[in-house]
């Protein structure tokens, strides 16, 4: 069974500090997809990034960057120069490929990391 672990329950940083959110996953499959979502206080989950298991290239998008390492089954997320608007709960999620090709799948989420950025 697939599993996602986000060991950091809560993190507080001062504005402009860099912060890394950890994500470790477990899966039996060789083909899978990893996601990060942000949940602000309003409650709606906002998609941030998707990474497939065959692409270990790190990605940078503005102040956000992601480090995917299959050797350690980790998919960590770094926010550079954090801002108050980054305060939210961040979820890492895993989706395994559907062998039947029918496209049926489900996201397995970690418990989330609550990030508080203090001005």
Sign of CA dihedral 56, 68, 119, 84: positive
d(CA 76, CA 62): 16
Half-sphere exposure (Cβ direction) of 27: Cα atoms closer than 13 Å: 24
- In the complex, least distance from residue 49 CB atom to another protein, rounded to whole angstroms: 9
- In the complex, least distance from residue 38 CB atom to another protein, rounded to whole angstroms: 11
Residue 116 interacts with another protein (CB under 8 A)? Answer: no
Binds another protein by CB under 8 A, chosen from 9, 12, 30, 52: 52
Give the interface with another protein as residue ranges (CB under 8 A): 31-33, 35, 37, 42-47, 50, 52, 91, 95-98, 101-112
């Amino acid at each position: 069974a697939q599993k996602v672990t986000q060991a950091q329950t809560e993190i507080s940083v001062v504005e402009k500090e860099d912060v890394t959110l950890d994500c470790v996953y477990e899966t039996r499959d060789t083909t899978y997809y990893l996601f990060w979502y942000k949940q602000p206080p309003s409650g709606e989950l906002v998609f941030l990034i998707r990474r497939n298991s065959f692409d270990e290239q790190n990605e940078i998008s503005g102040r956000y960057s992601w480090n995917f390492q299959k050797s350690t089954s980790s998919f960590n997320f770094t926010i550079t120069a954090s801002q108050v608007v980054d305060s939210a709960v961040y979820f890492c999620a895993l989706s395994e490929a559907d062998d039947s090709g029918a496209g049926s799948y489900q996201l397995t989420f970690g418990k989330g990391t609550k990030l508080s950025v203090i001005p």
